[in-house]
Structure 1
Amino acid sequence: MLLTDALLLDYKRCQRRAFLNVYGNRELKDPERDFLLKLRQESHYHVEKVLLESFPDSQRPHTDLLDLKALAEATEALMRKGVSCIHQGVLLRKVSYQGHTISLLGTPHLLIKQPGQSKFGDWQYYSISIQLGRRPKPEYKLIAAYHADLLTSIQGVEPNFAQIILRRQNRTFVELDTWIPRMLETLTECISMLIKEQEPEVFISRQRCSLCHWHSYCYTIAQSQQHLSLVPGITPNRYESLQTLGVFTVEALASTSPHNLGELIGLEVASQLQQQAQSIIENKAFRKYNSHQYRPNIPSSSIELYFDIEAEPEQNLDYLLGVLLVDNVKNTQKFYPFLAENPEDEKLIWQEFLKLVTHYPHAPIFHFAEYEVETIKRLAYLYGTPIHQIYPILSRCVDLHQQVTQLLTLPVESYSLKSLANWIGFQWRDPGVSGDQCVCWYDQWVKTGDRQLLESILRYNEDDCKATYHLKNWMVKFLA
């Protein structure tokens, strides 16, 4: 059996994903999404940029070798030769576990020579991992420790450290005394699962699962089982607590005494989860049991603005500031798409946005979640907008996501705008499109100039604004 660093990374993120990558039916995998392809391309560019700027003289094992064993031998030959920097080296060793032989494979981005003793002479190597993330996540450190452990078996001495290079060339060192024991424990668990062919239970985690190529397959199973992970607020730890009480279904969650649940997860959380389960069973919205603690803040006005943004995170660019203007006196709607057709136009669309919202100084600005407010602050700082001009705008912003989560419980699987709006009957004109897809479309627009891509982005953003409008109206009627 071959266990790679990529498979170990999958196991760290999701045990079920690692299992399915080895034993799953590949015909059941989702087609690769454009956003994943974009991330992979950005990761490749990031690695190439780091190599060009910081390690231009790195050497590779012979590229004409395809056999892993031969590549590992070629890598060790470069180490024995004392090459200062090795790119795309292959680390390979065999271990025995319960009568099974396991080949452990690691492919660190770089192996760097440094002074010290090893079987090669008065030098040794440490590994560098180049990652696209902005912070040194635990899974990055785990894989760095995996590479260091393989390196120890090859050079005969443990490296003093391992290094991770993140975005903007930010570097962090990994404390191997801490992370190698953690890695070995995870590695043993992964090997045991794969040898025993024990398929882990499905558990849907919205952020972690959304980009996985097994998502549809696992989600179908979860739905057929009415799995508790589909209930908002059920985390893996809470799920384990519910299991110890014999709570395995939504119906059981709705009927269990909140006091019994409260002993394990706290009375407030237990009450929230129980009401969420009741809402799902009855397909009915409720005022949250503790909503008396919060005052509704959903103003009404003759003119109302509904605000939604499309952004390109890699470029730190907000390229579309969409505003739906609703005139409740004339019973009209008009969509204002402030679009930066070129990334350099961000300042221009910011000024156009300011002109519109200041023209209606008493109009509330409805949005969903915190990003729109944070973007107003960011753009104001970036382009030197006076504070006295920004504060009145911020004071008019109304976050409907905050209002929903404080006041209401709805029969949904997540409290995203799309999930909430779909439940109250609103449909996007382009089913299946997400903000991630718009990021890809905008990148393609910049490269190709295909205006159909822009039209698709504008249509999606306008629907986001209209969904916010419909959600606001529904909430006003329901809370009344």
Structure 2
Amino acid sequence: MLLTDSVLFDYQRCRRRAFLNLYGDPSDRDPPNDFLLKLQADSRDYQKTVLESQPPYQRPQYPYRDWFAGARSTLTLMERGIEQIYQGVLLVETENGTTLVSCPDLLVKEPGESRFGSWHYIPKDIKFSKRPKREYQVIAAFHAQLLSEIQQCWPDRATLFFRDRDEYTVSLSQYLPQMRRILAECLAILERREEPEVFLARHPCSLCDWLSSCYAIASENQHLSLLPGVTPTRYRQLQQAQITTLETLASTPCDRLAAAFDPATTGNVDPKDIARLLVFQARAAVERCALVKPDSTGLTAAELPVSPVELYFDIEAQPELGLDFLHGVLVVDRRPLDRGDRPKQTFYPFLAENPQEEGTVWNQFLDLVWTYPIAPIFHFCNYEVKAFRQLAKRYGTPSHRWRPVLNRFIDIHERVTRSAVLPVENYALKSIARWVGFEWRDRRASGAQCVFWYDRWLKTGDRAYLDSIAIYNEDDCRATYWVKDWLVEFLQTNNYYS
């Protein structure tokens, strides 16, 4: 059996992903999305930049994925005492017939005795990341383990290159035991060919090319991981309590369910509160309807106003550039309306066509906001408020021009999650808005896709990318409007709005 560092890395993120990468049907894979391709390209560019700042290096020559040839070529370079080896292959065959392979980005020569002579090598990886995630450090320990067997001495250290920080030294004493445990678990599962159970988690799964395949299985089986609030830890505790279906969870008394949760795993949250929410969430899914959140006291008109003019606000950002390049505002004007008329809706996209225009569109946005000085500004989640504060500071905006506006922001996500339990898989805008009947004109569009589109606009000058971004942003604003109006009606119907 062959196990590479990439398989071990995937195993840490998702056991099922590692299994499918080895044994899955390739036709079940999703094609890579544009945002993932951009991340991969950015990672390659960053690695190239780092390598240009390093001393000269040599690269072993071998046919693609011929690990044995790569290991022989790498070993030859190490025996010659080459100062730096780029993308070398470390290969060790274990007593039980398993072949372990790792490919550190760099092998760097250091003084110290080894089988080669008065030098040995240390592994270095180059990561397009801003922090030393555990997965990276475990792989660094894996490099070190194989390297120690090949050169017959332990490397002095293992290091990582990250963006915006100095070289990071991995604590091998801490991560070698973790790596060995994870490696043993991974080998056991893969050798037995035990296909791990599906578990859908929003962030780890969003960029995985097995997502559609796993989602289809989870959806068909109504897997509990599709229920908001069911984390991997809580799922294991539910299994131990023999609660494995939506129907069972929906009918479980809250006191009994609370007893299934170990208080040591719930942080500062009372297990009874977790139990109540999960039971209500399951009931909403089974009954396919919205429920008033347990213990909710409703919202006041001040917290969720229906005003003559309302503003719906959404930002598109380019995180890698630290850039908020689009402020989209939907103005909903209810003045004056005859009975049955729909409010007038006008969308304003304040779009920076290059990073230097960020300050210009920021001030254009403020001008529009002050055109309606008492209109509430609805948004979804708290990014817009954080960005608003940062932009005011970045551009030295006078306090009288931005501080009063802060009091007008109203977070629809907070209002929904405080007062309602919905039959949705998560409480992101897309899930909620689609449940209340709204649909985006471009179903593939997302915030991540906009990052890709803006990058392509800057590189190609094709305005079709800007048009796609503006359409998506407008739909986000309109979706927020739909959700807000639905919430007002829901609370009025249930007498939780005053």
Give the TM-score band, short-chain normalised: over 0.9
Aligned to 2:161: 165
Give SS of 2:459's match.
Answer: helix
Of the three residues 275, 290, 295, the one matched with 2:295 is 290
Deviation per CA, 1:184-230, whole angstroms, max 9, x where unpaired? Answer: 11111111111110000011111111111000001000011111001
Aligned to 1:316: 322
1:56-455 to 2 correspondence within 5 Å?
Answer: 56-62=55-61, 67-97=66-96, 101-265=97-261, 266-292=271-297, 297-330=303-336, 331-455=343-467
Is the 1:113–1:124 Cα contact (8 Å) retained in structure 2?
Answer: yes
TM-score normalised to structure 2 length: 0.93
The whole-number CA distance in structure 2 between the counterparts of 1:316 and 1:412 is: 32
Q: Which amino acid aligns with 1:37?
A: L
Q: Which amino acid aligns with 2:456?
A: Q
Q: Does residue 475 in structure 1 map to residue 484 in structure 2?
A: no
TM-superposed deviation, 1:68: 2.1
TM-superposed deviation, 1:80: 2.1
When structure 1 is superposed on structure 2, of 444-453 and 344-353 the one drifting more is 444-453
Is the 1:50–1:169 Cα contact (8 Å) retained in structure 2?
Answer: no
Give SS of 2:94's match.
Answer: strand
Q: Which amino acid aligns with 1:73?
A: R
Instruction: Give the % identical residues.
Output: 49
Call closer, same or farther: CA 1:81–1:359 in 2, change over 3 Å: same
The whole-number CA distance in structure 1 between the counterparts of 2:52 and 2:214 is: 41
The whole-number CA distance in structure 1 between the counterparts of 2:166 and 2:350 is: 34
The whole-number CA distance in structure 1 between the counterparts of 2:80 and 2:298 is: 70
Q: Which amino acid aligns with 1:355?
A: D
Is the 2:34–2:449 Cα contact (8 Å) retained in structure 1?
Answer: yes
When structure 1 is superposed on structure 2, of 148-157 and 324-333 the one drifting more is 324-333
Give SS of 1:291's match.
Answer: coil
Give SS of 1:385's match.
Answer: coil
The whole-number CA distance in structure 2 between the counterparts of 1:65 and 1:463 is: 45
Is the 1:302–1:327 Cα contact (8 Å) retained in structure 2?
Answer: yes
When structure 1 is superposed on structure 2, of 243-252 and 322-331 the one drifting more is 322-331
Q: Does residue 31 in structure 1 map to residue 27 in structure 2?
A: no
The whole-number CA distance in structure 2 between the counterparts of 1:360 and 1:208 is: 41
Deviation per CA, 1:14-56, whole angstroms, max 9, x where unpaired? Answer: 0000000111000011111111111110110010011112x14
Deviation per CA, 1:69-105, whole angstroms, max 9, x where unpaired? Answer: 22212212222222222211111111133xxx11111
Q: Which amino acid aligns with 1:314?
A: E
Call closer, same or farther: CA 1:117–1:129 in 2, change over 3 Å: same
Give SS of 1:474's match.
Answer: helix
TM-superposed deviation, 1:458: 0.8
Call closer, same or farther: CA 1:290–1:66 in 2, change over 3 Å: closer
TM-superposed deviation, 1:334: 0.8
TM-score normalised to structure 1 length: 0.96
Give SS of 1:469's match.
Answer: helix
Give SS of 1:219's match.
Answer: helix
Q: Which amino acid aligns with 1:477?
A: E
TM-superposed deviation, 1:405: 1.2
Is the 2:63–2:69 Cα contact (8 Å) retained in structure 1?
Answer: no
The whole-number CA distance in structure 2 between the counterparts of 1:135 and 1:293 is: 41
Is the 1:114–1:125 Cα contact (8 Å) retained in structure 2?
Answer: yes
Gaps of 5+ in 2: 262-270, 337-342, 493-498
The whole-number CA distance in structure 2 between the counterparts of 1:14 and 1:399 is: 33
The whole-number CA distance in structure 1 between the counterparts of 2:378 and 2:476 is: 12
The whole-number CA distance in structure 1 between the counterparts of 2:280 and 2:388 is: 35
Q: How many residues matched?
A: 476
Deviation per CA, 1:313-355, whole angstroms, max 9, x where unpaired? Answer: 2212111110011111143111110001112211111111111
Is the 1:242–1:248 Cα contact (8 Å) retained in structure 2?
Answer: yes
Gaps of 5+ in 1: none
Aligned to 2:43: 43
The whole-number CA distance in structure 2 between the counterparts of 1:9 and 1:294 is: 46
